[in-house]
Amino acid sequence: MIETIYIEKKIKDHPRTISILSKFKKARHIEIDKYGEVFNKHNQNFRIQKNNPALILAYKKEGYVLPAPEGFGIGSSKNYYFSHMYNCIYDCRYCFLQGMYSSANYVVFVNFEDFDDEIKKIIQKHPEDSLTFFSGYDCDSLALEKVTGFAKHIIPFFQKHPNVDVEFRTKSIQIEPFSLIKPMDNLVIAYSLMPDLISKSLDNKTPSILKRINAMSVLASKGWKIGLRFDPLIHGKDWKDLYTKMIIMVFNSIPVSSIHSVSFGPLRFPKQMFKDIFKLYPNEPLFLGPLLQNKGIISYSNEIEQEMTFFCKELTAKYINESQIFKCSA
């Protein structure tokens, strides 16, 4: 439950602000000049805030759409991401957001139309390139959909631009934005997955793997394209067995024809980010794994990364074409 909502004065009368506020009738409203007054200040305690996060409604001034990091993509020549929100209602122990901000409060930007304009400009600038836009980089793209309505807003935009792809990456089982419209060829709903046993330990506050698979199955049956994101790959005792069972379960639940792409990503943290996250959760089993430091990055060894990627890729290739399988190295 949200107890406090900070509202930038500039957007206090914005229709989207009013709509969001109406969903939290008991919350206390506090007006602010800019979201930086309460978000990511020094000496904020992410771990304590995570137990009682506030919502911040803000106006985004710039940086609506950014180039995706190198190695992040599903086949297009140019990749971009956009984030209508900072932070996530889930609490996954491997997530970089824990080390990204000192604040766990959720920032929602209400000026969605500025995202549309920026995406449009990029499309016009690159008429010859294949483009993919990713939603859900600094947040989960659908987890707070009932509150923000961002997907409902942006989907019609991409209906008008069938030549570019958009991916909604999520762990949410929120399927409403897709259930009332016709499936789109240029829209992928991509689910982050890992073996249930590992997910139970690391994916805090998220829908279970089984529920995610059920949501995928419903969307697939309606004709939507599904992305499978085994990212990050998590090592541990019997990992081969755990990943085999999960991959078989996924492919038994969803028709192969519905699968747009599969990607695998290694577990990697920049050194400072790892230190920050480790300080927050020093007793987490995730950090026990055989992690090494190499060129400022904390990760499993190359051998482990390669073995895990190769194994899962081989397994997946039994079901789908290799051209649909990607390695995410971002």
Partner 1 sequence: MIEDITKEEKFSIRWVIALKDEAEIIIQQYRMKLLSEKSVFPIFKNSEETHWLILSGIGRHNASAATLYLYEKSKAPKWTAWINIGIAGCGVGHFGDLCLVDKIINNSDGKVSFPSAMKNSPFPRMELLTTDIPIIDYTSKKLIDMEACAFYDATSKFSSRELISIVKVISDGPSNNIKNLNRSIISKLITTNISNIIKIVLYYESLSLDEYKRLKKPEIFYKICNQWHFTVSQQHQLERVLRRIATSNIKENILNLLKDCRNSKSVMNILNKQMESYEVDWRNA
Applying CB under 8 A, the span of 12-20, 142-150, 158-166, 275-283 interacting with partner 1 comes to 275-283
Reduced 3-state DSSP string for 124-187? HHCCCCCEEEEECCCCCCCCCHHHHCHHHHHHHHHHCCCCCEEEEEECCCCCHHHHCCCCCCCE
d(CA 183, CA 171): 20
Q: Report d(CA 127, CA 144) in Å as an integer.
A: 33
Site for partner 1 in 186-225 (CB under 8 A): 195, 197-198, 201
Q: Is 43 in the site for partner 1 (CB under 8 A)?
A: yes
Least distance in angstroms from the C-beta of 134 to partner 1: 29
Residues 123-162 that bind partner 1 (CB under 8 A): none
Quick one: which of 21, 242, 249, 273 contacts partner 1 (CB under 8 A)?
A: 242
Q: How far apart are CA 23 and CA 147, in angstroms?
A: 7
Cα 108 to Cα 17: distance, rounded to the nearest angstrom: 10
Residue 329 contacts partner 1 per CB under 8 A: no
Per the structure block, which two tokens stand in for 18?
């009013």
Cα–Cα distance between 271 and 275 in angstroms, integer?
Answer: 6
Which of these segments, 10-18, 37-45, 68-76, 209-217, binds partner 1 (CB under 8 A)? 37-45
Stretch that binds partner 1, among 41-49, 84-92, 130-138, 151-159 (CB under 8 A): 41-49
Position 290 contacts partner 1 (CB under 8 A): yes
CB of 236 to partner 1, least distance (A): 4
Q: Whole-number minimum distance, CB 327 to partner 1, in Å?
A: 23
DSSP 239-303: HHHHHHHHHHHHHHHS-GGGEEEEEE---EEEHHHHHHHHHH-TT-GGGGS-EEEETTEEEE-HH
How many chain residues touch partner 1 (CB under 8 A)?
A: 40
Residue among 25, 26, 160, 237 that touches partner 1 (CB under 8 A): 237
Residues that bind partner 1 (CB under 8 A): 3-4, 6, 28, 30, 32-33, 37-38, 41, 43-45, 47-49, 51-52, 54, 195, 197-198, 201, 235-237, 242, 275, 278-280, 282-290
